[in-house]
Each structure stands twice: as C-alpha cells, then as structure tokens.
Amino acid sequence: MIVFADAIISWQKRHGRHDLPWQNTSDPYAIWVSEIMLQQTQVGAVIGYYGKFMQRFPNIHILASATQEDVLQQWSGLGYYSRARNLYSAAQKIMDSFHGRFPNDFDDILSLPGIGRSTAAAISTFAFNQPMPILDGNVKRVFARYFLIEGWPSLPNIEKSMWQIAVRENPVGLNKAENAVAYTQGLMDLGATVCTRSQPKCHICPIKKNCQAHLKNQTNLLPTPKPRKTLPERNTTMLIYMNANEVMLEKRASKGIWGGLWSFPEVDSAPINGEILPKFTHTFTHFKLHIEPVLIKSSHQDNMPNTLWITLDEAIESAIPTPVRNILQSLNSKN
DNA sequence: GACTCGTGGCG
DNA sequence: TCGCCAAGAGT
C-alpha cells in the first residue's frame, strides 16, 4: 500500500542510483533509447553502447533520417537486433504520425513498435512525470519475495497478478507525481542492487520487515526459476571467401536470427577446397550453435546475391553479430 | 501459451 | 566449465 511505496521512495532518494547516463534528463528521446537498450540487458553492457548511439543519433530527426544499416551498425554486438529495427521504425512513425515529437500520451507511446506496457510506463514516468506501473525482471523479483508469490513470474497468470499488484502499489494519489520517478527508479534499483537473485543483501533492505520471503526464510527459493528444457544444438559451416585483403559478407534476411546483419554464407558441411579453422560454440538463449569456419582463398570476386567484398578492417566495423566479429578479428591478427 | 530473439557476467 | 538470466516485446 502507501507504506510500500513510501519506503521505496525514501530509500531510492538516499541509496538509489542517480548518475546513470540516461538519468537527470527529461528528454523522452534519450530515455526511450535507454529503455530499449536496457530490455533484457544489464546496465553495464548498455552504458558504452548508449553513449556512442546518442553521439551518432542525438535526436529523433537524425535517427529517422539515418539508414537501418547505420542503426544496426551502432547496435552490432548488443544483441536482440529487432530492438534496433523497431527503434528505427518507431522513429519514422514519430516523424510521420506525431510531427517529429515523441508522444506523451501513454497509448500513443505504447503504439510504437518495440515498446510494450512496461517500457511505455517507464518512458511515461521518467520523461513526462506521469506515474504508470512497470513490471520488469527487477520488479518481478521484488514482488515475488515481498508478497511470497510462487511460480515462474513470466507465466501468464502469475504475471497478470503481478501487474495487478504493480497497479495497486503504484503511487498515483494527489501530489505523488513528483515521487513517481523515485518510486519507479527505486523498484528497479532495489532489485538490481539489493534484492538480487543470488545472495540478496537483506540486511540493508528497506522493506525487509514486511518481506514475506525474508520472514519465512525463503528468499533463496524465490522467484521460482523458469522451467528449463535442455538447449537444442545446431551445427553450421561459415564460408569465409577471402582474397588478398578482402572478405565476402552476405546480408541476412530481415527477420530471424541476426536479422538484417552481415554474416558469412552458411552451408551444412565443409567443402573440400577450404581450410578448416578452429570450431567454436556460440550459445543463444534458446539453442547452442556449433560453428565451423572454413577459409576459402578466392582470387576472383564471386558474384553471389546479397553479398559484398570489403576489407577486413571495414568488415569489423560493420553491422555484424558477435561470432562474425570474433572470426574477423582472429583473421586480422593472423595477417 | 509457447516460441523467438543476443550477449555477457556471474557463481 | 556451464547453467542461469538480465530495465521485454512480437508473433
């Protein structure tokens, strides 16, 4: 109730995070970019990308007038590339449908591609001081423990009840708007720095007195982990066509894994005319990919569709996924 | 409701 | 070393 929110708010003001690169601003564009980058991605992994992205695309207009290739290049290595494609697509929509100004209406924000309920709420709160409830991984963990909610939090019925709690606890009363930022930020700060998944710092937690998991000594059992199946494994052979100083890259389909990025042509098994490079494994969230790179010396420039020849140095700076970057860098260090 | 979609840090 | 999962959204 009020007690919960007040405890979070006062704790955040004293002990929360106040100096992240996307804080201390009300620019909806800056906040939007940060919220997209932070989806399923930890703060430490985002900070470097965020600075470069904002330098390259300082506002909506510049982002919208760039190419998707430019945007994917800045996103290269961060993962979940549909976020970058949707960010770019949303920028176009803001130009076309909202006169180039980021909308402040919640439903308008929610209508933008790549923005779901929680991200829309975070933008609404941080950029426009309109308190709307969020429900991210941090909040789910805090709620699961504080209210002793069993079951994997992303199960639809569990998540639904957590949204109800998020709405109920969200401070929307009179004169609460000024604390909306502190409450929303505080929930995430608490989950990220105190109510962590392993070894939570309950001794410094501002709400431990009423935390059901803490009182019943079940903190280490909550939240209920996701039911895991064994990861499926796949194999692929990447063909690295290379002449004196250039490699051939192939643009991947716009959807699916690494959509819209540049990679190597893939086949099921190695051809006999190549030099087999060391195999390695790249692990995704939902499968393992065993990659066998094969180097093929090619004096002529094969004219395959959706391909280009590019120097090693330029290739490394392109919109490529991480395993491709690793391969290119190993080739570069050889030469 | 289940699946897809990246990468890196951590115990 | 390896399983887990993080400021989720789209299909």
- CA closest to B10 C1', residue: A198
The whole-number pLDDT of residue A304 equals: 85
- A164: DSSP letter: H
Phi-psi region of A146 (alpha: psi -120 to 50; beta: other; left: phi over 0): alpha
Question: CA A100 – C1' C5 distance (Å)?
Answer: 36
pLDDT over 80 (residue A331): yes
- A252: DSSP letter: P
Percent of chain A at pLDDT above 70?
Answer: 96
Q: Which nucleotide is nearest to A38 (CA to C1')?
A: C7
Instruction: Name the band, by pLDDT with cuts 50, 70 and 90, for residue A227.
Output: confident
pLDDT in tens, A141-173: 999 999 999 999 999 999 999 999 999 999 876
Q: Which nucleotide is nearest to A259 (CA to C1')?
A: B5
3-state secondary structure of A281: strand
The whole-number pLDDT of residue A172 equals: 74
Quote the distance between the C-alpha of residue A114 and its chain's center. Answer: 11
Distance (Å, rounded) from C-alpha A126 to C-alpha A249?
41
Question: CA A285 – C1' C4 distance (Å)?
Answer: 10
Distances (CA, A) of A284 to A288, A289, A310: 6, 8, 27
The whole-number pLDDT of residue A229 equals: 81
- A151: DSSP letter: S
Question: What's the mean pLDDT in A287-301?
Answer: 89
pLDDT in tens, A165-212: 999 999 876 456 679 999 999 999 999 999 999 999 999 999 999 999
Token reading at A105: 């209406």
What lies within 8 Å, CB to CB, of A74 at 6+ separation is A49, A52, A53, A56, A57, A84
pLDDT in tens, A7-35: 999 999 999 999 999 999 999 999 999 99
Instruction: Name the band, by pLDDT with cuts 50, 70 and 90, for residue A302.
Output: low
Distance (Å, rounded) from C-alpha A122 to C-alpha A114?
13
The whole-number pLDDT of residue A211 equals: 96
A128 in Cβ contact with A180 (< 8 Å): no
The whole-number pLDDT of residue A11 equals: 96
Among chain A residues 243-262, those with CB within 7 Å of any atom of strand B: 255-259
Least confident of A58-67, A144-153, A326-335: A326-335
Token reading at A115: 């923005």
Pairing of strands A233-242, A288-297: parallel
3-state secondary structure of A71: helix
Q: Which of A35, A169, A250, A292 is catalytic?
A: A35
Supply the pTM of this predicted model: 0.96
Distance (Å, rounded) from C-alpha A154 to C-alpha A220?
18
pLDDT in tens, A75-124: 999 999 999 999 999 999 999 999 999 999 999 999 999 999 999 999 99
pLDDT in tens, A304-313: 889 999 999 9
Angle between helices A177-193 and A2-15 (to 10 degrees): 70
Question: What's the mean pLDDT in A59-68?
Answer: 98
H or E element, residue A7: helix A2-15
What lies within 8 Å, CB to CB, of A303 at 6+ separation is none
Half-sphere exposure of residue A202: CA atoms within 13 angstroms, side-chain side = 19
For strand C, the positions having any atom within 7 A of a protein Cβ are 3-10
A324-328 LR contacts (CB < 8 Å, sep 24+) = A324/A238, A324/A261, A324/A262, A324/A263, A324/A264, A325/A76, A325/A77, A326/A280, A327/A238, A327/A240, A327/A264, A327/A277, A327/A293, A328/A247
